[in-house]
Structures are given as C-alpha cells and as structure tokens.
Amino acid sequence: MEGSARLRHIAIRMRKRQGELFADGSEARYFAVVTNLGEWKPRRLLEWHREKAGSIEAVHDVLKHELASGVLPCGRFGANAAWLRLAGISHNVLTALKRIALPPELLTARPKRLRFLIFNTVGRLVQHARQTLCRVAGVGWRQWRKTLVWQPAPA
C-alpha cells in the first residue's frame, strides 16, 4: 500500500445503564470508526463523525426524487449504472453552481426550485463594449433575477 495513508481504528463500547436498554439482551454494544485522520484526538474525531449524521440522507433524497435516480431506465446493468452516475454528476454540478455562481439565498435551493428560477428563464445575449453578456429577463417575482448578469470568462 505504497503512497496511501495509514488507517486509524477507533472503537466505542456502550454499556447498558438502565433496565433492558438493548432488546437483544447483550450487555454492551460496540461501534467503530475507521479514518485516515491521524492527528485528531479521538474525542474530536467522534464528534466530527457524529455531526455528519443525516447529511447523506438529504443527498439520497435529492438524487432519488428530483434527479430521477430512483427510477432506473431499463433492466440492463450498464445502462442503469450510467444513469446513476449521470444523476450523481448532475448533483455535483448543481452544488458547485450554488456555491460558486448563485446568490447566498439559493445555497439551500433544491434542483426543482433552481429549474424554475434559473434554467427555465429567458435570457438574451448582448454584445457591449467588447463583452458578451447574458441578461436575464426580469419577470418581477425575484429581485435578483432583474440584476443578474453573467459574463463568460475571457478566452
């Protein structure tokens, strides 16, 4: 395993403190965290790991219900794998778009909201002062849409 980081294993033992806490009758439960973060103290690492709980379920919900990865296109494994990868790429592109290019109030917007606010919006390419601009039509229901001007990166 040349060039790879060494893995660190942290185990937690939870003992039964009150009555029949564990339904299976065991005296203790064991949990493990495997990480490559060697410089963190075990307590901080476990706190960080527990903070992440629940975030992946929101991603799965968006992928399944809004980016169509819950309905696979056919019975062929390769086609379904490609469909799932495209849904994942779409999610990553939308996340990058929200973090880099959109106003802060749209950071938590879901794909359906972005589709109706941005992707289905009429725009006009305008050349002015040696620049190509895309002026987004303001239809009046979002203030930032009236002033949004996109400039492509210089070539």
Averaged over 16-27, what is the pLDDT? 67
Are 59 and 42 in the same domain? no
Is the same domain home to 99 and 142?
Answer: no
Which residue, 151, 119, 120, 117, is CA-closest to 135?
Answer: 151
The residue segments making up the domain with residue 15 are 1-53
Judgement on whether residues 141 and 92 belong to the same structural domain of the protein: no
pTM given for the model:
0.53
Contacts of residue 144, defined as CB under 8 A and 6 or more positions apart, other chains included, come to: 103, 105
Verify that 93 and 43 share a domain, yes or no. Answer: no
Same domain assignment for residues 3 and 36: yes
The yes-or-no verdict on residue 49 having pLDDT over 70 is yes
Whether the CB-CB separation of 37 and 45 falls below 8 Å is answered with yes
